[in-house]
Every structure is written in C-alpha cells, then in structure tokens.
C-alpha cells in the first residue's frame, strides 16, 4: 500500500485526506472549520491533529498541499493568506518535509484545483484547460501541455482582476469593472443591495408620482431577507433570480456577462480546449449558464473552438489536486 | 556550410533569405512586392524565383516559412490568406518538401515573429513572452517555457480581438471595442476621420455661435492631408500627435490605452516575463509608449511583474523567426 496524504488549507476550513495511489476513494477524510481568531500557528496545529488522526502511525509516500493564497510553488513557500494572519513567508513545504520525512508539493488552491479537475474530474483527457472558481473571489488555474502553467512569478490565472468593463463599478483592487467585481458572490450581493437602496432613496425623495415605469423586481429578494438588506448574499441573489425576480436576474446576468467576456477573451488569447467552472456562483442555474455560454461564444472569434463545462469534484477539488501534485 | 532558407509570405510582399547556421548575417536576401492581382500561384511563382536566385544550385539543410495568415502548424497547411486569393488549404510544407527534398516548418507570421524575437531579438533569454504586432492589424504570438504556444486549434495569440471597451466602436469582427478596432493603423485613421467629419457637420448645421468650447485640435492633421480626409493614415495620426495636434493625440492615446488594458489583462492571466511590441504603430513616439506602459501597469495587479519593450528585428522578424523554426 502506497499512501498519499492530501492537505487543504482553505482559509475558513482545513481538510486532510489519505488515499492509496491509483484509488479514487478516500481511505480517510477529516475536516474542521478554522477558529474565528485563527492564525498560521493554530491552522498548523489543527492540521497536525487531523493528520495524526488520519495516519495512525502509518507513513505516507508523499504529501500534496493546496493553500488558499499566493504560494511560491517552486520553493513551496506561502507568501500570505488573505484570510488568516501570520502566513507571511512560511516555508510550508520545508516544515512538512522536516516533520514527516517525505517529499511535499505545495501550490495555491486555484492551480491545485485545476490539476485535480484535469487528472480526476471534468478535465480528464484535455491537455489544455483553464479552471475558474467563482465564489467569494474569482480565481483560475492553467493546464497547458498537460501541466500547470503558473507564470514567470507564479501569478498566472488571475481572471478575477482582468477588466471587462472600464466604465463599471470600482473593485477593491482599485480598477473598474474587474470580473471579480461583477461576478463574485459578495459583490453580486452588494450590487443588488445598492440597486435596492437607490430605489428606496428615489421613492423617499419623490414628491410627485413617477412619469416613467419603475424599475421592476426586487420584491422576492427583499422577501428572502425580511427587508434587511445587510443579509443579502450571492446565493440569495441566485435563488431570487431562479424564482423570477427581475432585479436579481439583472445582477446575475451581469455576473454571467462578465465571466462570458473574460472567457471569450481568454479563448482568443490562449485557445485552450476547455474551461472548467467551479465555485458556488456557478450553481446559480440554467439561466446563468446560458448567458455565460452565449456571451463567451460571441466574444471569441468564430474560428476559436472551446467548451465551458461545470467542475465535477466540488469541494474536494483541492484535495484531489493535492494528490495529483505529488506525482508531477 | 549548413544553409538555412527562410521565406516570408507577407500578404503584400514576399521575401526570402539564406543564412549559415549560427550566423546572424544573411548570406543573401531577396524581396518583391506582390503584384496587384496576386493569387497563391503567382505568390508561389515569385517566391520560387527568389529562392532559385538565392540558392544558385546549392541545397539548404532546412526551410522555415512565415505565412501572413492562419496556418495549421502541425501539418504546415495554410488555411487562407486575408490578403491574397487562392490560399485556402494549401499544403505549403508538403509542396516545398517535395520540391526541395528537405524538412520544412511553416507557421503564421505572429508566431514566427515571436520566435524570431525570442531567439535573436528583444526576447533573448526570456522563457515566457508575448509578442504583439500593431500594424494594419493587431496580432500576437506566445513563447511559453521557451517554445511557441499555439493553442489547441492553432488560434492562440489573438489579442487584436479581445474586447477592452464593450461600449466602444464596432469592429469588423462584429464586436465592440476590440483592441484592433482602437489600436490598428487603419482604424486610428478612421477614428480621426470620423471625429473631424463630425466637427465639420456640426459647424455646417450651426446657426448661432457655439456656447461651449469647441473640440480642440485637428488643424495639423488636416494640414498633413491638404483637407482630404480620405488620405488619413495611422502614421499621419502619429505624426500629427507628435507635432502637438490635440485631436490626433486623443486618437493615439485611445490606441495606447486599448493596448495597455489588453497587456495588463494578459499579464494577470498569463504572467509572462516580457511583452515585445513591433509594427508601425509602435513607432508612434514616447507619448504613445508612456500611456501604454502606465495603463498596462495600472491594469495588472501590483504583484504581477513584467516589462514591455520594443521589438528589435523590425521587418526581418518573420525571416529570423523562420530560421528559428527550422531548429525546433
């Protein structure tokens, strides 16, 4: 029996699993939420307990690690975490190699998930693909010639921060109309909230009845949060859109449009065979996928062929990718 | 002596050159304009005469070919030419291999020029780069891991048709605000012409003096074409901008902005070390380069490093790339 140990430092959760080489079923699987005031030390301590609980004294042949933040994959050093303090320049690969005495591979979650889908999921048999996760953020990972393409400085795949609408709303990164600004869950919620607040402000300031047709929709969305707009989430926007709320549909279509333009531009630039899309927002329903597919097709040149398919590994993509990382 | 024969089917011109392996100086160089009513047969006939004049009975060790249009590089088959009729599905590699009895490599001009700059020009020592030509069209070619990346269907590199301004003017491809629509020479000329024509139409329709400040500039540009706006070219727009014409500057800055956004987006997506820019429009002067560099830097994430440098091989980039193509 040759065991592989796969670790996922996910920012808000930690997961570990073991598998026999060649198998597609976990022999063991453990998962914990990060505590509210987690730092790198507590994350490592929790992960250590998961590992020892899984291994029970056996030794893995190799360890693969997915980390939710920028990583120097050549040295296996974490640059930082956007969610958890204290991860600046932590030599995670060396720490684990010293502790367990086996070879360790570390990469960021988007690259690792891309590798997971390529080896075990929706990308099997495709030598060139781009994996996109659309969730609290928007990120991506490349497979070219069957191998990860990480870029000269390990920064490739940042589809979340390409500009698709220079007249769009301002993103946290400072630019206008980034894909992430329009398509991430939290930003979709913010976009819906801002429209609803504007409608309220307009109604409050009006002295005479409106001459033009009112902006439609929003009632279902308001109902879902009992009129407390601070409770809005990307998922609720998707649910309201599926239930026929026009305002929620508008926000969701804009998200799908942004992703579609990004994917179409990428198809023209890199001409990969497949785009594999995972993350919560991509579960928003048929309408979302239909807009996304159509906009991507219209944005790409007619001669540029590609497919856009849903990811199949779900939350386990980073763990399966970590397994794949050990055999590169 | 090991001779390499390099051929450039450029659309409007044909060029051929021979060089000793390892040398950086042409032993012989011939060039002709395509006749006005050229087709694939006349192009091949002219190229044949250039070749026999160069070779004088000697036999090259290999032939590299740059073709100005889509090519299936794996089979060396030309798909079509956008400039010259009759090139549909011509097996150029096989034709030349049959005639000269040596191995032949064929690829499109953007990929070949990228390879030329990588091996002999501004990309020497850089394993990952994107070459962009900004001329009558806007195209590009990738070098990743020191080798051309052509895409799954040989269509990679089409930076000309990525959308950077969805509210921009309509491109020949049907989309709005493509890089080529804003930055190619002919489109820059069209953009300047349309602004000048609008100014004229506005002046003609006006019965009372304008209350607002008039749009500035255009006088120098008009002077360069003796008021015949059909004579405008991208180069004249650049010249007028350099001479201080505000309207020409506006058009040129928009072109530089479009390229800057495209390059910044690309840096985020692929994180190559270098961007190498060639083609007539990139000779538009310091102002153009300054806007381009600044916009690209602002569009890329702060952590993404890259350089944008001018190509150095000029019109010979496809020929030097053809030489490099024979040794892949």
The B residues from 170 to 189 touching A (CB cutoff 8 Å) are: 173-175
B161 → closest Cβ in A128, A166, A268: A268
Closest-CA residue of B relative to A298 is B175
Q: Which residues contact A278 (CB under 8 A, 6 or more apart)?
A: A113, A117, A131, A132, A133, A134, A310, A311, A313, A314, A317
**Domains by residue range for chain A, with CATH:** 3-108+318-325 (3.30.420.40), 159-310 (3.30.420.40)
Model confidence band, residue A207 (pLDDT cutoffs 50, 70, 90): low
pLDDT at B43: 95
The secondary element (H helix, E strand) that includes residue A263 is helix A246-270
Rounded Cα–Cα distance for residues B198 and B201 (Å) = 5
Q: Measuring CA to CA, how many Å separate B216 from each of A106, B29, B220, B239?
A: 57, 47, 11, 17
Tell me the per-residue pLDDT of A58-113, one tens digit each, with 9 for 90 and over: 999 999 999 998 899 999 999 998 888 999 999 999 999 999 999 999 999 999 99
Q: Measuring CA to CA, how many Å separate B255 from each of A291, B236, B239?
A: 30, 14, 14
Mean pLDDT confidence for A181-208: 89
Mean pLDDT confidence for A3-14: 93
pLDDT at A48: 96
Contact B266 A264 (CB under 8 A): no
* DSSP assignment string, A153-186: TS-TT-GGGSBS-TTSPBPTTS-BSBHHHHHSHH
| Chain A nearest CA to B221, separation (Å) | 29
- Judge contact between A152 and B273, C-beta under 8 A: yes
Q: Check whether B207 has a pLDDT greater than 70.
A: no
Q: Check whether B258 has a pLDDT greater than 60.
A: yes
At residue B169's C-alpha, the angle toward residues B167 and B172, to 5°, is: 125
Token readout for B214 is 């008039």
Tell me the per-residue pLDDT of A242-299, one tens digit each, with 9 for 90 and over: 999 999 999 999 999 999 999 999 999 999 999 999 999 999 999 999 999 999 999 9
Token readout for B36 is 């006005």
Rounded Cα–Cα distance for residues B19 and B7 (Å) = 12
Rounded Cα–Cα distance for residues B84 and B42 (Å) = 10
pLDDT at A241: 96
Mean pLDDT confidence for A289-318: 96
- Judge contact between A133 and A278, C-beta under 8 A: yes
Mutate to test the interface with B, among A108, A123, A155, A164 (most CBs of B within 10 A): A155
Q: Check whether A203 has a pLDDT greater than 90.
A: no
Q: Check whether A56 has a pLDDT greater than 80.
A: yes
Q: Which position has the token pair 């407390």?
A: A228
pLDDT at A217: 87
CB contacts of A174 in chain B (<8 Å) are: 298
In this complex, is the C-beta atom of A196 within 8 Å of any C-beta atom belonging to chain B? no
pLDDT at A213: 53
pLDDT at B201: 85
- Judge contact between B91 and B76, C-beta under 8 A: yes
Q: Which of A281, A270, A262, A249 is closest to A135 using CA atoms?
A: A281
At residue B304's C-alpha, the angle toward residues B142 and B128, to 5°, is: 25
CA B166 to chain centre: 23
Three-class SS state of A27: coil
Rounded Cα–Cα distance for residues A262 and A160 (Å) = 9
Contact B158 A272 (CB under 8 A): no
Q: Check whether B175 has a pLDDT greater than 70.
A: yes
CB contacts of A70 in chain B (<8 Å) are: 303
Mean pLDDT confidence for B286-302: 97
CB contacts of B261 in chain A (<8 Å) are: 163, 166
Q: Check whether B107 has a pLDDT greater than 80.
A: yes
CB contacts of B144 in chain A (<8 Å) are: 144, 149
CB neighbours of residue B312 within 10 Å: 16
The secondary element (H helix, E strand) that includes residue A65 is strand A62-67
Tell me the per-residue pLDDT of B268-281, one tens digit each, with 9 for 90 and over: 999 999 999 999 99
Q: Check whether B298 has a pLDDT greater than 90.
A: yes
Q: Check whether A34 has a pLDDT greater than 80.
A: yes
Rounded Cα–Cα distance for residues B14 and A199 (Å) = 63
Tell me the per-residue pLDDT of A214-225, one tens digit each, with 9 for 90 and over: 567 899 999 999
Q: Check whether B240 has a pLDDT greater than 90.
A: yes
Model confidence band, residue B138 (pLDDT cutoffs 50, 70, 90): very high
Model confidence band, residue B35 (pLDDT cutoffs 50, 70, 90): confident
Token readout for B143 is 């070098």
Strands A129-134 and A103-108: unpaired
Model confidence band, residue B212 (pLDDT cutoffs 50, 70, 90): low
Rounded Cα–Cα distance for residues A48 and A32 (Å) = 12
CB contacts of A162 in chain B (<8 Å) are: 265, 268-269, 299
Model confidence band, residue A12 (pLDDT cutoffs 50, 70, 90): confident
CB contacts of B161 in chain A (<8 Å) are: 268, 301
pLDDT at B291: 98
Strands A28-33 and A13-20: antiparallel
CB contacts of B271 in chain A (<8 Å) are: 150-156, 158
Token readout for B213 is 């400040």
Contact A268 B162 (CB under 8 A): yes
Mutate to test the interface with B, among A166, A257, A296 (most CBs of B within 10 A): A166
pLDDT at A28: 96
Token readout for A132 is 């996109």
Q: Which of B155, B123, B125, B128 is closest to B140 using CA atoms?
A: B155
Mean pLDDT confidence for B201-207: 79
Rounded Cα–Cα distance for residues B119 and B111 (Å) = 12
Mean pLDDT confidence for B166-177: 94
Interface A-B, measured as beta-carbon pairs within 8 A, has a size of 125
Rounded Cα–Cα distance for residues A262 and B232 (Å) = 34
Which ipTM was obtained for this model? 0.91
Strand partners, A163: A178
* DSSP assignment string, B298-310: HHS-TT---EEEE
Q: Check whether B12 has a pLDDT greater than 90.
A: no
Classify residue B90 by its DSSP letter.
B
């Amino acid at each position: 029996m040759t065991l592989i140990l796969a670790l996922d430092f996910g920012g808000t959760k930690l997961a570990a699993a073991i598998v026999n080489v060649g198998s597609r079923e976990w022999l063991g699987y453990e998962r914990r939420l990060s505590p509210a005031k987690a730092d790198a030390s507590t994350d490592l301590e929790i992960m250590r307990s998961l590992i020892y609980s899984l291994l029970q004294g056996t030794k893995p042949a190799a360890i693969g690690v997915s980390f939710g933040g920028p990583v120097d994959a050549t040295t296996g050093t974490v640059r930082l975490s956007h969610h958890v303090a204290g991860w600046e320049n932590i030599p995670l690969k060396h720490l684990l190699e010293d502790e367990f005495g086996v070879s360790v591979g570390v990469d960021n979650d988007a690259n690792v998930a891309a590798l997971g889908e390529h080896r075990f999921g929706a990308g099997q048999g495709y030598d060139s693909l781009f994996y996109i996760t659309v969730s609290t953020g928007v990120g991506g990972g490349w497979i070219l010639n069957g191998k990860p393409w990480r870029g000269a400085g390990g920064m490739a795949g940042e589809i979340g921060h390409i500009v698709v609408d220079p007249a769009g709303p301002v993103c946290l990164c400072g630019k206008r109309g980034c894909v992430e600004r329009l398509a991430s869950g939290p930003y979709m919620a913010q976009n819906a909230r801002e429209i609803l607040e504007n409608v309220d402000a307009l109604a409050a300031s009006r002295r005479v009845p409106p001459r033009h047709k009112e902006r439609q929709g929003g009632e279902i969305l308001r109902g879902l949060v009992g009129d407390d707009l601070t409770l809005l989430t990307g998922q609720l926007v998707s649910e309201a859109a599926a239930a026929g709320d026009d305002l929620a549909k508008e926000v969701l279509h804009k998200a799908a449009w942004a992703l579609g333009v990004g994917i179409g531009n990428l198809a023209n630039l890199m001409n990969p065979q497949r785009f594999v899309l995972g993350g919560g927002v991509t579960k928003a329903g048929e309408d979302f996928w239909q807009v996304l597919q159509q906009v991507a097709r219209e944005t790409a040149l007619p001669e540029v062929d590609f497919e856009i398919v849903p990811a199949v590994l779900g939350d386990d993509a980073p763990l399966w990718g970590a397994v794949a990382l050990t055999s590169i």
